[in-house]
Amino acid sequence: MANFSGQLINLFAALLLLIAFAMLSQRRVLSLINLFALQGLVLSVSTMIVANSSSQHHLYYSAGLTLILKVIILPWILHRLIRKLNIKWDVETLFNIPTTMLVGIALVVFAFNLAAPISQMAGTITKGTLGIAMASVLLSFLMMITRSKAVPQVIGFLAMENGLFFAATSATYGMPMVVELGIALDVLVGMFILGIFFFQIRETFDSLDLKHMEKLKED
């Protein structure tokens, strides 16, 4: 059982990584949001499997929380936002995608290397996945660097949060519940504030392109 679920989890972890790469190369905002929702779903399912196999019941709550927050609420908010902001079909030009991919792969290798000695210590059945978690965090980071518009950047930020969550489950069977709740609250509030921001930015700059926001610098 443990073996099977371990394989399942590894599968989902691989899926997570794949989605991270997909997000890295995705040009369209709408698809990005969908990918993000998908990532949340994968996360939630894998958490549930972990909860099941390790009989850590509080992980069910986390999985539920993830499902509600990251698969339903946040994508819903994002959808509404892009509809209201009328950027649903926005396409952004990205920095040379093959190069980004190559850098991403290098990052994955780096993260695996970094995580390898630690993974050995983990007592969880998911120990191999810590590297993947770290890789997806770094990939999200990379995504944020390469995005030139506000919404995708925020999605990158949220994806990073996903990676972190996955790290928590894979390395330690999740953080204490009170912390999880706090994190969830922060993410939610953060999303609201970002929503407000999108409107303010659009109102002021008439666009959500970040290139308008490069005035504050040393000259």
Partner 1 sequence: MTTLFSALPIDIALSVIAYWLLLGLIGLLLQNSRIISQWIFPAGALGALILAVGAVSSLGGAVNTAVLPLGLPDLPFHLRLDSLSAFFLLLLGAAGIGISVYSAGYFRNMEGNTLGLLCFEYHVFLAAMALVFMADDAYLFMVAWETMALSSYFLVTTDHSVPEIRRAGFLYLLVAHVGAIAILMCFGVMQGGHGDYTFAAMRHAHLAPFWASATFLLALFGFGAKAGILPLHIWLPEAHPAAPSPVSALMSGIMLKTAIYGILRVTFDLLGMQLWWWGALALTLGLVTALFGVIFAAVQTDMKRLLAYSSIENIGIILVGIGLAIIFHSFHKDALAALALTATLYHALNHAFMKGLLFLGTGSVLHATGERNLGKLGGLIHRMPKLALLVLVGVLAIAGLPPLNGFVSEWLLLQAFLLSPGLPHPYLNMLIPITAAALALAAALAGYVMVKFYGVIFLGQPREDKPGEQVHDIGIMERIGLTWLALGCILLGVFPVFFILHIDYVTQMLVGQTLGSTAAQTGWMWLTPIQPERASYNPLILFLIIIIGVIFTMQVVKKFYHGRLSRGPAWDCGFPEQTSRMQDTAEGFGQPIRQIFELFFGITREVPSPFDKKPHYHGETRDLLWDWCYVPIARITETLSALIGKLQHGRIHVYLLYSFVTLLALLAFIR
Partner 2 sequence: MEIFWILAIPLIGGLLLALFGCQRFAPELNSTMSFGTFLASAFLTVRVITDGPMTALNEQFFVDSFNVFLVALTAFVAFTTSLFSRPYMRIEQHHGKLTINMLRLYHSMYQLFTFTMLLALLTNNLGIMWVAMEAATLTTVLLVSLYRTPASLEAAWKYFILCGVGIAQALFGTILLYFAAEKVLGAGGTALLWTHLDAVKTQLEPTVLSLAFVFLLVGYGTKVGLAPLHNWLPDAHAEGPTPVSAVLSGLLLNVALYAVVRSKVLVDGALGSHFAGSLMMGFGLLSVVMAAFFLSRQKDVKRMFAYSSIEHMGLMTFAFGMGGAVATFAGMLHMTVHSLTKSAIFFAVGHATQKSGTQLMENIRGLIKTNPTIGWGLAIGSLAILGMPPFGVFASEFLIITTAMHTYPWTTPFLLIALGVAFAAIFSRVQTMVFGETNSPRLPHPPALVPVFVHLALVLLLGLYIPPYLADWYRQAAALIG
Interacting residue ranges for partner 2, rule: CB under 8 A: 56, 114, 117-118, 121-123, 134, 137, 141, 144, 150, 153, 157, 160-161, 164, 167-168, 171-173, 175-176, 178-179, 182-183, 185-186, 189-190, 193-194, 196-197, 200-201, 204-205, 210, 212-216, 218
Which alpha helices (H) appear in the chain, and where do they start and end? 2-25, 29-54, 58-66, 74-84, 97-121, 130-146, 150-172, 177-205
Alpha carbon distance 30, 153 (integer Å): 13
| 218 touches partner 1 by CB under 8 A | yes
Residue 205 interacts, among partner 2, partner 1, none and using kind-specific CB cut-offs from 5 to 8 Å, with partner 2
Cα three-residue angle 95-98-43, rounded to 5 degrees: 90
Alpha carbon distance 125, 54 (integer Å): 8
Site for partner 1 in 88-147 (CB under 8 A): 110, 113-114, 138, 141-142, 144-147
Q: Which CB sits closer to partner 1, 206 or 219? A: 219
Residue closest to 74 by CA, chosen among 186, 168, 179 = 186
* Nearest approach, Cβ of residue 174 and partner 1 (Å): 24
